[in-house]
Chain A
Amino acid sequence: MAIKLVLNGTPRSLDADPAMPLLWALRDLAGLTGTRFGCGVAQCGACTVHLDGQPVRACLTPLGAAQGASVTTIEGLSADGNHPLQRAWVELGVPQCGYCQAGQLMSAAALLARNPHPNDEAIDAAMSGNLCRCGTYPRIRAAIKKAAGETP
């Protein structure tokens, strides 16, 4: 069955079982490998993408849920990798192994879209579902504030 969606701004049709998790449709069918597989049960946040602007865990979101919707992955966060969050991430040296960071950025971007100036509590609440085993959390928080135009 063909699922029609707008993927990173481009209308696409993905021919797959609507029950296939969006994660695998993105990675294996659409070739967008920036969305990472971490746990498969929505416990780590590495696969976070935007579905109509809302952050969702792609590993438990069926492809069918994206029918007619807009999906944004890390590849579509900005045209040239210079979203304010991406710039802040690089400038503050947030990534270590880098594996979780696409998901972290997508959660952070959704946060800033609805709350342009989040305080620590808002950041913690929005980011608590995204694990990082390198422990980059303090820099993530600083980078979100920097991107929000505040001194971290």
Chain B
Amino acid sequence: MTALSRRGVLKATLGGFALGLYPGLGAAAPKRAKGLQPNVFVHLSPDGAVTLTVHRSEMGQGIRSTLAYLFAGELGADLARVSIEQAVGDAAYGDQNTDGSSSIRGKLDWLRRFAATARVMLLTAAAERWEVPVSACEAKAHFVVNTLTGAKLSFGELAEAAGKLPVPADDAVTLLPDAAHPWLGRSAPSIDAQSFVTGAAQFGADVTLPGMLIAVIARPPVVGGRIKRLDARAALKVPGVKKVLALPTPRAPWGFQPWGGVAVLATNTWAAIRGRAALAIDWEHGPNASYDSAAFRDGLHRALQSPGVTLREVGDVDRALAGAARIIEAEYDVPHLPHSPMEPPVALARFQRGACEVWASTQNPQAARKTVAETLGLPESKVTVHVTLLGGGFGRKSKADFCAEAAWLARAVKAPVRVQWTREDDVRHDYYNTVSAQKLTAGIDATGQLVAWRHRTAFPPISTLYGGPPVPGPGDLQQGVLDLALAVPNVRAEGCEAPGAPVRIGWLRAVYNLFHAFAVGSFIDELAHARKEDPRATWLSVLGPPRHASLRELGIPALKNYNASLDEHPVDVARLRQVLERVTKASGWEAGARAGPRRAPQLPQLRGGRGVGGASGRAHRGRRGVAGHRRRAHRQPRPRALPDGGLGGVRPQPRLLRRPHHERRGDAAVELP
């Protein structure tokens, strides 16, 4: 059916899973002729072979392994008889948008049930054969065992009979007790590790089709720009370059549409890159021609000087500030951040006989399918999106623009096309994490007590990508502003309008928490200086006693709360306090306090250029994660600035600009280095 260059199934040495390393080529959830297939995730053939389909994208979080072990364990399968397939984009799998840490959270039982359904059908088939109650049967190591007699029937022997049974309703399917699941809550090796260390793993740029051209695109240097004049003669003289083609100009709102510009298509990547460099293009820069990031930042700060939309209110902040003995105030801004996954965006598309097939390192194959269908004017049923491994994603690869570029070009040039983003493209034309400015204002009474806390935040939110106004709302401020527990009697949070949204705004891992946590953490330091106390003590007193903060305490009518209830996903102050305690302990905070230079009062010191960072996710209550899923709930940074920063040291963040704060009253202004 295909002449893909490196197709094939490799046996993985770990776990015993056989991996279809190649993303499946068939239609979504192919209906197998024989055996047991109660849903799109599980198939058992009469020869005993089990095929499990994983539907989320692997980008280093271990989800392929997690799902493989989760399903196999719930089924009672022998790993050596299980092979893993990667699903194409299809709503039949439910949500496939692999972001927001949402693959397992809140879905564990839902996922287990697919494999449990198959197990129950096997047990039922065996019980009928033996004429015993289903409760007398157990699935283990690819057999169903009769616990009354010790008799065994293999999964393969039961496959046909089980496949003829009606699929039981969800409430008739009992999950294994957690302790009986062989992998739940246990560590297990990655099913993909061997392919990573041999180079056999297939990422987006590793799929090849005969006759394929490689495209590199010169995109408009200014968002909303268009081509005024194109001279492609020099580019076409580059050996290997076959075609030069202008893409349609995108129209606002930007969404995921192809990003325009001029594509150079060549027989190899280097020729395409050289061809692009040889293009002569005059651009009409459009309405953002005068966009200036420094002026925009100033506009964000101006927006903070008057009240925004109040999204959180406790007590009376205005009165408390008016009556405070001292006001501490500071402003912060954080620039756009690009995702920069190690693997830049890349997609391959083939258009033939009115249908389009795409192979891409996408976090969201359903969005890619929809976007490609819209771009080509096809029904989604004519679009198939295969998911390769992702060399990192961080949210960038949830956006389908690069898939749509490949699809549009493949149809236009009547050949398979791989669109290769270069690193420069990735940095210049990203869906950036938004640019922001914040102003925090605190009131302290005559006894040093914190009596008022006002937090203003201004940024164009992600909804601007779809045409929304450039003002953040409650769904945005849930990330680090509305869900911040504060033991302060008067609190207000306001969302302030940004002066437009001149670039594509996207979501980048942790999203708005990044800059909200930065500003709040920095402001806590300001308060510590003002109160002449250890910042850890300030943190603990501002957070207050261990508790679960209610909506009423937070002063908000509702909390989006990552689509979970507060009961499932509480604002848990005890957890935050514990992170602080453990981070300061692990970093030698106390020893630093004793050894620090003489100051009045003596504050804990870290050596110059070094800092301490703590990361805390709010815990999701309920069962823990599954085997194969790396746990990072608590990571203890070491106070060392080493090249191995990712897991250990915390490096200075020169991009996080701190503006001089404005001390309106009092005498506690201390400039941090």
Q: What residue of chain B has the Cβ atom nearest to residue A17's Cβ?
A: B239
Query: Which 9 pairs show the lowest CB-CB distances between chains A and B?
Result: A135-B646, A34-B199, A99-B391, A137-B644, A97-B60, A98-B196, A96-B60, A74-B199, A95-B196
Q: What residue of chain A has the Cβ atom nearest to residue B202's Cβ?
A: A33
For the complex, is A20 an interface residue (Cβ under 8 Å from B)? yes
12 pairs, A vs B, C-beta closer than 8 Å: A33-B6, A33-B199, A37-B343, A37-B420, A40-B422, A85-B197, A95-B60, A98-B60, A98-B192, A128-B643, A137-B647, A138-B644
| Contact between A102 and B199, CB atoms less than 8 A apart | yes
Contacts of A134 in B (CB 8 A): 60, 392, 646
- Give the total of B residues in contact with A, Cβ under 8 Å: 55
Known: A86-B197, A133-B394. 20 other contacts (CB 8 A): A16-B268, A28-B214, A28-B268, A31-B208, A33-B6, A37-B269, A38-B344, A44-B342, A46-B342, A74-B198, A75-B199, A90-B14, A97-B389, A97-B392, A99-B342, A100-B342, A101-B197, A102-B196, A128-B643, A135-B647
| Contact between B630 and A96, CB atoms less than 8 A apart | yes
Q: What residue of chain A has the Cβ atom nearest to residue B239's Cβ?
A: A17
Indicate with 1 or 0, residue by residue over B202-233, a CB within 8 angstroms of chain A CB atoms: 11011010000010000000000000000000
Contacts of A24 in B (CB 8 A): 268-270
Residues A81 and B194 in contact in the complex (CB < 8 Å), given A33-B199, A34-B199, A44-B342 = yes
For the complex, is A145 an interface residue (Cβ under 8 Å from B)? no
B632-646 at interface with A (beta carbon < 8 Å)? 642-646
In angstroms, how far is the closest chain A Cβ from the Cβ of B112? 24
| Contact between A124 and B642, CB atoms less than 8 A apart | yes
- A138's partner among B60, B199, B208, B648 (CB-CB below 8 A) is B648
Contacts of B185 in A (CB 8 A): none
Indicate with 1 or 0, residue by residue over B403-423, a CB within 8 angstroms of chain A CB atoms: 000000000000000001011
Interface residues of A (CB under 8 A from B): 16-17, 20-21, 24, 27-29, 31-41, 44, 46, 73-75, 77, 81, 85-86, 89-90, 93-102, 105, 124, 127-128, 131-138, 140-141
A127 to B194, CA, bound (A): 21
Q: What residue of chain B has the Cβ atom nearest to residue A63's Cβ?
A: B270
A35 to B644, CA, bound (A): 22
Q: What residue of chain A has the Cβ atom nearest to residue B628's Cβ?
A: A93
For the complex, is B190 an interface residue (Cβ under 8 Å from A)? yes
Interface residues of B (CB under 8 A from A): 5-6, 13-14, 58-62, 189-190, 192-203, 205-206, 208, 214, 239, 267-270, 273, 340-344, 389-392, 394, 420, 422-424, 630, 642-648
Q: What residue of chain B has the Cβ atom nearest to residue A75's Cβ?
A: B199
| Contact between A40 and B423, CB atoms less than 8 A apart | yes
Residues A36 and B269 in contact in the complex (CB < 8 Å), given A90-B197, A98-B60, A137-B643 = no
Contacts of B423 in A (CB 8 A): 38-41
A32 to B6, CA, bound (A): 10
| Contact between B189 and A98, CB atoms less than 8 A apart | no
Contacts of A44 in B (CB 8 A): 342
- A90's partner among B194, B206, B392, B646 (CB-CB below 8 A) is B194
In angstroms, how far is the closest chain B Cβ from the Cβ of A49? 11
Contacts of A100 in B (CB 8 A): 342, 391
- Identify which of B391, B645, B647 gathers the most chain A CB atoms within 10 Å of its CB: B391
A86 to B155, CA, bound (A): 35
| Contact between A98 and B205, CB atoms less than 8 A apart | no
In angstroms, how far is the closest chain A Cβ from the Cβ of B617? 16
Contacts of B62 in A (CB 8 A): 96
A135 to B646, CA, bound (A): 4
Q: What residue of chain A has the Cβ atom nearest to residue B62's Cβ?
A: A96
Contacts of B342 in A (CB 8 A): 36, 38, 44, 46, 97, 99-100, 131-133
Residues A95 and B239 in contact in the complex (CB < 8 Å), given A37-B344, A124-B643, A132-B646 = no
- Identify which of B13, B58, B205, B270 gathers the most chain A CB atoms within 10 Å of its CB: B270
A31 to B273, CA, bound (A): 19
Contacts of B13 in A (CB 8 A): 81, 90
